[in-house]
Structure 1
């Protein structure tokens, strides 16, 4: 099953036939909100607004573990995550869409970044964090709409909630980042731990602040985001209601060879968690 995680400004999807709204209890607390289960053209989908229905959660306040765990127990195997980002490259222009393939985690403020620990010891590979099959799927749908979508970008995740300094923006460019945002770490890595195929669809809202003529502000970010949102909603409707990307079985076997302990040595709660992640 596919899940859409909606970012800033995307709190619902049009044209969906809602089946129900589910409150999911998790060992990590409450998700960002109830999860909407719906369908379009007979295709099932789950929808979860990352920041809450009223955007009440800042990036460092989002309960990422609860969000991913809740989607997992509902049977989600693929996540398409939508985010607003700043561009660190001239050719990635405000108003355009970009698919991230790589990540740089620069989070310093404490966020719970893993399901592992407390006796459940594992080290997963995140060399290729984004699902290539989903990338091709989104690219094909965008081409059908004559909608430009850039691929192969590197996303740098920073704490926020403040916007960055010019020195920080230049630093990110120096280390090879193409996009900057505040939410996809640890989200992408938790999805990998849960053996869920993951891809982010990023809406460029600004040039961060590395260009002298374009320093980001929330007013400008939201204005540009809203200008692009209709294109995104149309693309998402095509993706949800059309042919799905195949579930990449390599990403569904992340835990194979990653565990450092045997299940029989785990406490009951950690064994139960492993059962969920492994499903």
Structure 2
């Protein structure tokens, strides 16, 4: 089942025929909001607003583990996130859609980034952190409705909530060779991989961050909200088109990422650890 995680400005999807609003309690606390289960032309879909129903959560306050756990427990095998980002490349213009394929973790705060620890040891490969099969299917769906999407970019994940300095923007662009910068995809993308869920993000470029010389090009909250809102309809059209496509099987091993990742002997796991693994391995 596909789950959609909505970012800034995307708190519901009007096209869905809503069947249920589900409160999910997880071992890691409550998710950002109730998960909504809906249907679009015969296909079941889950939806969760990343920042809460009223955008009450900062990027560092989001319970990413609870969000991914909740969607996994409700049967999600695929996740498409929608996120606002700053563009670090001239060719990715404000309003453009992109699907990043690589992630640079520049988050320095105390976000919990793994389901593992406390006696349960695993090391999941994230050399290719997204599902390329799903990304290709999203692009094909977008092509059927003549909406262009950049593909193959690198996303730098930062803490926020402040907007970056020029030297940080230039560092991410030049030294780290990143193309996009955002506050919410890390650790979401990595937790999805640990949960054996295929994951992609459709990003909406709202600005050029602040690497350019002209201050008029620098990011402001006003620009983020305005440009995200203007382009959100495009992203939703792509999502609906994707829901109507015949999707291809994952070739990146997303759905079997734990097969050789777990080091802890299973016969030594306690009941809580065993329950954790049981859900992640579904």
TM-score by length of 2: 0.97
Match of 2:275 in 1: 272
Q: State the SS of the aligned residue for 1:205.
A: strand
Q: Please give the residue correspondences for 1:96-115 in structure 2 after superposition, counting only pairs within 5 Å.
A: 96-115=96-115
**1:259 and 2:262 correspond:** yes
- Decide which moves more: 261-270 or 93-102: 261-270
Q: State the SS of the aligned residue for 1:237.
A: helix
Gaps in structure 2 of 5+ consecutive residues: none
Q: State the SS of the aligned residue for 2:237.
A: helix
Match of 1:179 in 2: 180
* Separation of aligned partners in 2, 1:246 and 1:41: 21
Match of 1:220 in 2: 223
* Separation of aligned partners in 1, 2:73 and 2:141: 28
The Cα offsets for residues 200-257 of structure 1, whole Å up to 9 and x where unpaired, read as: 1000000000012211000011111111111112111222244334345711110011
* Separation of aligned partners in 1, 2:233 and 2:82: 13
Q: Please give the residue correspondences for 1:102-251 in structure 2 after superposition, counting only pairs within 5 Å.
A: 102-174=102-174, 175-213=176-214, 214-248=217-251, 250-251=253-254
Match of 2:85 in 1: 85
- The answer to whether the 8 Å contact 1:78/1:247 transfers is no
* Separation of aligned partners in 2, 1:244 and 1:19: 23
Match of 1:22 in 2: 22
Give the C-alpha shift of residue 160 in structure 1: 0.2
* Separation of aligned partners in 2, 1:58 and 1:228: 22
Number of residues of Structure 1 aligned to a counterpart in Structure 2? 279
- The answer to whether the 8 Å contact 1:130/1:198 transfers is yes
* Separation of aligned partners in 2, 1:243 and 1:53: 31
Gaps in structure 1 of 5+ consecutive residues: none
* Separation of aligned partners in 2, 1:221 and 1:261: 45
Match of 1:50 in 2: 50
- The answer to whether the 8 Å contact 2:133/2:249 transfers is yes
Q: Alpha carbon RMSD of aligned pairs, Å?
A: 1.0
* Separation of aligned partners in 2, 1:240 and 1:142: 11
Q: State the SS of the aligned residue for 1:55.
A: coil
TM-score by length of 1: 0.98
Q: State the SS of the aligned residue for 2:230.
A: helix
- The answer to whether the 8 Å contact 2:141/2:245 transfers is no
